Amino acid sequence: MVQRKVTYRLYPTPRQIEALERLRWVHCLLWNTALDERRRAWAYQQKSLSFSDQCKALTGWRSRSPLLRSVNAQSEQVTLKRLDLAFQHFFRRVKRGETPGYPRFKPLHRFKGWGYSKHGDGWKLLSGPGMKHGKLRLSGVGEVRIRGKARTVGTPKTCEILHRCGKWYASVTVECEPERQGGERIGGLDWGVETLATIASAEGVERIENPRHLQRSLERIGALQKRISRKEEAAKQASGKKKGFPVSKRLRKEYALLAGVHEKVANQRRDFLHKTSARLIATFAVLGLEALNIRRMTAKGGTYKRGLNRSILDAAGSMLHQMLRYKAEEAGALAIEADPRQLKPSQRCHRCGRQEKKPLSQRWHDCPCGVSCSRDENAARVLMGWVMERIGGREPAEAWREVDLSLPGEPALPWKRETPAIPLGWRE
């Protein structure tokens, strides 16, 4: 079983917004109260309060406060747990000899949200088939309309309600059976015509060549095509017609043969790409790619390997990317595409970042900084650097969660969030 995060955008009614705002306010008060309690305990008694100490205190506070009582008890414990995690983080850093900031009181505008730790207790996900869209029932709020979709359907476990830029989101942790298991490596993959893929990672550079049998089939297609056009030319000459010339039995046979080889190439290619992408996703957690549809638009000019083989191999590039992306989704890994117009992987130096226009025919990257490697290797390394920067040095699994917060049509949320995710199984 693995855990995935699914983010839904909430569409509350004005009355529901009021209720959500009220919940946020109560959780914010609780955070500040609990923080104050910890500070006092330390200042007056040199006593470190634990999470369970504060849970006990919460029971007392609830008995005295109708406001706290009006909110789901378990979600209040989650806020206490978050505070506990903030302290644990603080003490870990102190131990490492750093000088971290003490956990802070939060004004309401800096308080991002709250969470629930058990499905059915204070919240219930009522999503449609395939965990797509539907409603979210929140105690004290009602049934809120939601939009979003799970990649892999599973059992909802925990939920976080987030308020950001005037919008509300629910980030639901789902436990599911992985259809595929991802690896742990991080790398950049540059797709090319001669070398199918060049992959740069901390372990070094790896090349995947187009398979020989595919090359042989491509040569076969070339030879057949030549023969066919010779025959067509002869038929045109003999009949005097450019179009609608009589097709001989022999020529018809050649057409059928060519169609057969084309199909064979398509099958070989698909098969090879399936195996290659599956193998890559089995070892990589994060892969940076270059968006190809945009690259082709910008790579105009240059007579480098035009023609039939090029077009067949070109199609392989977008097919490979597509396979990597959906297999990554299945595995809970990431295959993300960079906009080549901004990143310019083929022009930028992977070490110093210097940009230099290179014609497509220039297959070597030489930079004044001393880097000398193949063009493909440099591009793969640029993509690796880009993807490392995007996940910000965090564990791939963590980064995945953050990325998942971006919704279609919504701007991606920033990498750093105020509220730490609630780990499953913290309940004591």
CA–CA dist 425, 131 (Å, integer): 23
We find the least distance from the C-beta atom of residue 354 to Zn ion, in angstroms, to be: 5
The DSSP element (H or E) to which 188 belongs, if any, is strand 185-191
Binding mask 242-271 for Zn ion (x = CB under 5 A): ------------------------------
CA–CA dist 366, 372 (Å, integer): 5
Q: SS3 helix, strand, coil % of the chain, rounded to 5?
A: 45, 20, 30
CA nearest 231: which of 216, 252, 213, 215? 252
Smaller CB separation from Zn ion, 225 or 347: 347
We find the least distance from the C-beta atom of residue 357 to Zn ion, in angstroms, to be: 14
CA nearest 338: which of 385, 402, 277, 281? 385
Q: What sign results for the dihedral spanned by CA atoms 114, 119, 125, 127?
A: positive
- Quick check: 349 binds Zn ion (CB under 5 A)? yes
We find the least distance from the C-beta atom of residue 371 to Zn ion, in angstroms, to be: 5
Select from 95-103, 244-252, 280-288, 349-357 the region that touches Zn ion (CB under 5 A): 349-357
Strand bridging mode 113-116 / 167-176: unpaired
Smaller CB separation from Zn ion, 146 or 349: 349
- Quick check: 371 binds Zn ion (CB under 5 A)? yes
CA–CA dist 197, 195 (Å, integer): 6
Per the listing, tokens 């969030």 go with: 417
Smaller CB separation from Zn ion, 258 or 371: 371
> Which of the 8 DSSP states describes residue 199?
E
**Residues β-bridged to residue 290:** 338
Smaller CB separation from Zn ion, 3 or 362: 362
Q: Which residue in the set 205, 257, 291, 367 belongs to the binding site for Zn ion (CB under 5 A)?
A: 367
Residues 288-317 that bind Zn ion (CB under 5 A): none
CA–CA dist 339, 295 (Å, integer): 8
> Which of the 8 DSSP states describes residue 348?
B
Select from 135-143, 327-335, 363-371, 413-421 the region that touches Zn ion (CB under 5 A): 363-371
We find the least distance from the C-beta atom of residue 365 to Zn ion, in angstroms, to be: 8
We find the least distance from the C-beta atom of residue 195 to Zn ion, in angstroms, to be: 22
Number of residues binding to Zn ion, judged by CB under 5 A: 7
Select from 51-59, 125-133, 191-199, 367-375 the region that touches Zn ion (CB under 5 A): 367-375
Select from 121-129, 197-205, 282-290, 361-369 the region that touches Zn ion (CB under 5 A): 361-369
We find the least distance from the C-beta atom of residue 385 to Zn ion, in angstroms, to be: 12
We find the least distance from the C-beta atom of residue 117 to Zn ion, in angstroms, to be: 50
CA–CA dist 288, 390 (Å, integer): 10
- Quick check: 352 binds Zn ion (CB under 5 A)? yes
Of the CA atoms within 13 Å of residue 397, those in its CB half-sphere come to 9
| Range 280-308 burial, b when 16+ CB lie within 10 A, else e | bbebbbbbbbbbbeebeeeeeeeeeeeee
- In the complex, which residues of this chain contact Zn ion (CB under 5 A)? 349, 351-352, 354, 367, 369, 371
